[in-house]
Structure 1
């Protein structure tokens, strides 16, 4: 199937139907040849990351609003014109016209030729330059200052590296050091010069794909073997497997997941990775305090549902969809989960809270409000990792001790 049509169809499903970019990309790439997979990936993610800047290039040339589908077609064509130097201009415009319905072919051709003739336009508006909504820029500026805000929005438009973690239940650093093209970031985390997802070591469960920031969350739990641990929101099981690895398959992990199909993913991941100390349950985390025994866990991980503002380079569609009111709903959900599961922790136990977002309302303020309501909890450690390095997503983590 034609690569640009596949990219266009994929973008329409993501933007208009609210589908997840990563899931749509998997389906889209199955429809094109190996040589076109890179082209489709670049068009889709490039258009999503630069959606405001692309729209800025043609919007003033239109007398009246066009359909959302045609707007997406123009956006992705503009992205190719100005960000993909190796693609001939005539091919971009001709294939855009081919993708358009008969009634819009002339319109698409005319607009794109005007855009090409005028050249790329610069805007002094940082929101247009970096394709972020104004409210989000203002939020980060208020929370972290002008300099850090600029670093965040620039980092969000970089390609994110794929990071691996050794699964010590099945492999070792010594084994992986023998493989050419692997470069270690620390004792367990590494990047590679080859496709990790398609590699034999991934298929055999010897490694896990996990961002470097995400790997820090379980590390701060400082788990001891034979511990009983609750992972409240466990899908897809990446951190669950890391907990099992730290426990060396001893003790017990209760891995909870609200959605049945995602709970199944956790079970499948544990089987693949050789995890034998984990029981997967399918419950609402807010109700866990009515299902599980009080004060029965040595450690609890709340890897909470969040706005995902720390992973925009991996999920650029988030910045097109999320609104401030969505965050208020998420904050309430996070609060309810924390309030529910805290009673399940033993005295002197550890509760770790984490999100993949950059937003104090979901992070520092959430934890401070929790401690104010539960003075028996003491903050031992907290850290915000900003999405500035290519191997590190934006993350927040806090470690709390329940005093006896």
Structure 2
């Protein structure tokens, strides 16, 4: 029988890869077979709390350790400072062993052991000192972002947003009401020992919050396509677009397909609904969800939203949902690593791409057709400012309405959407 690997070592290896090349931790985490919940919490916690862990490391470690041992140290510190459900003795011993098991780790293990034992002794003083640090350290966000949000939303909302981002994300299901009655679905969940909470954002769509620790694939109705895993903020753009039965509708940046499925429900299987994406792995996800949800009438195509004419030629649509790539500042609770990839250069690069996609896809609209531009960002450059500039340059369109979800207020992910109509 193969020996079970040290879960702290597994976590440190994933953190190390992220530190080294900014690789997405979620891809490695998805491949885990053992101790998934524990490693997931540790990795996401270390990534999320980088400013706090660096702040402490800089005070206590005289010579910066090799990158792998920095990852191990952070894994240990996160457990001791933020995981009350972990036995401290085990946290220290197993983390130190993770360093010892790595080539050249003997000396580093001694340093890590000393730092972790000090953190164990001085936890109360550390947390007290942390409360006196600047907001970007205290809430572990880039200083750049905290300053932007303070200017845009005010200090209180900026802090509330950072605190929201640091809470564990909930798993939320959207009920496929064309497949199952919502009350019947709730009954089935309760029969399986799962007590869901109705999300207050529910309206046309029913959203249920799962208790923590419930595996989605084991939820009743998964194979039958009774639900999608989907945050209520995704309904902001679909509500604005309001696709109707009989229309020709395009979801231009469709994967993973939650909004596509929501639109399919509104259209009741009547008309044309096309889901497009440009990457093979994302196309595969679309097809998997299409099959599970029994939505064979949806057309899935591979194409680049910057050059949709190559895919569609002269084909036109009544309505287009354009959920463009963005900086993801509205979903930092779910994507712990994304906060560290945002700077002014990235915002400028992404807004250029967003403009290109909007220019290209707007040309696919029929006369009087409508397009919803949406992001999961909270940055004005990607949202209100971009739409205002685009409308000023495109007099053939008018801005009808906008919608926005600000996480601390809405209790959802962040989202922005603007309904534009061809004159």
Q: Deviations over 1:27-61 (max 9, x none)?
A: 13x1x2xxx43322221222222111122223212
The reply to whether residue 229 of structure 1 matches residue 249 of structure 2 is yes
Alignment pair present for 1:184 and 2:198: yes
Mean alpha-carbon deviation: is it higher for 338-347 or for 172-181?
A: 172-181
> Once structures 1 and 2 are overlaid, which stretch shifts more, 171-180 or 338-347?
171-180
Contact 2:141-2:162 within 8 A present in 1 as well = yes
Question: Is 1:200 the counterpart of 2:220 in the alignment?
Answer: yes
TM-score by length of 1: 0.93
Number of the residue aligned with 2:319: 299
Unaligned runs of 5+ in 2: 100-104
Residue 366 of structure 1, CA deviation: 1.1
Is the partner of 1:346 in helix, strand or coil? strand
Counterpart residue number, 1:26: 30
RMSD: 1.9
Q: Write the distance in 2 (CA, Å) between the matches of 1:311 and 1:130.
A: 16
| Deviation, structure 1 residue 341 | 0.8
1:321 aligns to what? 341
CA 1:199–1:254: 2 relative to 1, 3 Å = same
**1:143, distance to aligned residue in structure 2 (A):** 2.0
CA distance in structure 1 between the aligned counterparts of 2:44 and 2:223, rounded to whole angstroms? 26
SS in 1 for 2:31: helix
Residue deviations 1:312-349 (CA, integer Å, cap 9, x gap): 11111111233321111111000000000111111222
- The equivalent residue for 1:250 is 270
- TM-score w.r.t. structure 2 length? 0.89
Counterpart secondary structure, 1:287? coil
8 A Cα contact 1:237 1:269, kept in partner: yes
CA contact (8 A) 1:386 1:394 kept: yes
Does the residue aligned with 2:288 lie in a helix, a strand or coil?
A: helix
Aligned length: 398
Of 147, 150, 173, the match for 1:141: 150
**Which of 112, 117, 128 does residue 113 from structure 1 map onto?**
117
Residue 159 of structure 1 aligns to a residue whose secondary structure is: coil
Please give the residue correspondences for 1:1-400 in structure 2 after superposition, counting only pairs within 5 Å.
Answer: 1-28=5-32, 30=33, 32=34, 36-100=35-99, 101-119=105-123, 120=126, 121-122=129-130, 123-179=132-188, 180=190, 181-185=195-199, 186=202, 187-193=205-211, 194-294=214-314, 296-388=316-408, 391-400=411-420
Q: Report the Cα distance in structure 2 between the residues aligned to 1:127 and 1:337, rounded to whole angstroms.
A: 33
Native 8 Å contact 1:169 1:275 kept in 2: no
Give the SS at the match of 2:222: helix
Secondary structure at 2:233's aligned position in 1? helix
**Structure 1 residues 146-180: Cα deviation after superposition (integer angstroms, max 9, x where no partner):** 22211111111011211111123422224213232
Note closer, same or farther for the CA distance 1:197–1:94 as it changes in structure 2 (3 Å cut).
same
The 8 Å contact of residues 273 and 298 in structure 2, kept in 1 or not, is answered as: yes
CA contact (8 A) 2:6 2:94 kept: no
User: Using the alignment, how far apart are the partners of 2:371 and 2:113 within structure 1?
Assistant: 58
The alpha carbon displacement at 1:286 in A equals 0.9
- Larger RCO, structures 1/2 (Cα 8 Å, 6+ apart): 1
Q: Tell me, in whole angstroms, the C-alpha distance in 2 between the residues paired with 1:155 and 1:97.
A: 32
Change in CA separation of 1:127 and 1:23 when aligned onto 2, cut-off 3 Å: same
Q: Which moved more, 1:248-257 or 1:100-109?
A: 100-109
For 1:381 and 1:2, locate their aligned partners in 2 and report how far apart those are by CA, in whole Å: 53
State the secondary structure of the residue aligned to 1:38: helix
Is the alpha carbon distance of 1:383 and 1:66 closer, same or farther for their aligned partners in structure 2, counting shifts above 3 Å?
A: same
Structure 2 Cα separation of the partners of residues 294 and 359 of structure 1:
34
Deviation of 1:68 (Å):
1.7
